[in-house]
Amino acid sequence: MKIFKPPYDFRKEDLTSFNRIFLAGSIENGTAEDWQENVTNRLSKIEKPIVVFNPRRTSWDASWEQSIKNLLFKEQVDWELSWMHLMLQI
């Protein structure tokens, strides 16, 4: 199993042989439960090639202003949209 989290540099990789899962849902660090970790732990027991796109950034700083003018926040949003878009193309 491969797990990609932001700010993983977006490069198109050969993922056609993998089952792909994007963990869309709340990632409000400090507020929302880290349900993504629970899901990836369960998925790791599956013996099939899986790629998990987990938008919960390990280095998230809750003080970041959630504005397109904030480059770190914009990077987060762009990462999520890029991976979701790539998944639709494969």
| The token pair that represents 24 in the structure block | 């869309």
pLDDT digits (tens, 9 = 90+) for 32-85: 888 999 999 999 999 999 989 999 988 888 888 889 999 999 999 999 998 888
pLDDT digits (tens, 9 = 90+) for 14-27: 677 788 899 988 88
Whole-model pTM above 0.85?
no
CA-based nearest residue to 77, from 66, 63, 87, 90: 66
- For residue 22, the enclosing domain spans 2-89
- In the chain, how many domains are there? 1
Q: Which residue has the tokens 């790539």?
A: 86
| CATH code of residue 7 | 3.40.50.450
- Label the pairing between strands 19-22 and 2-4: unpaired
Asked whether the predicted pLDDT for residue 2 surpasses 80, the reply is yes
21 SS3 class: strand
Q: How far apart are CA 68 and CA 45, in angstroms?
A: 38
| The token pair that represents 80 in the structure block | 């999520």
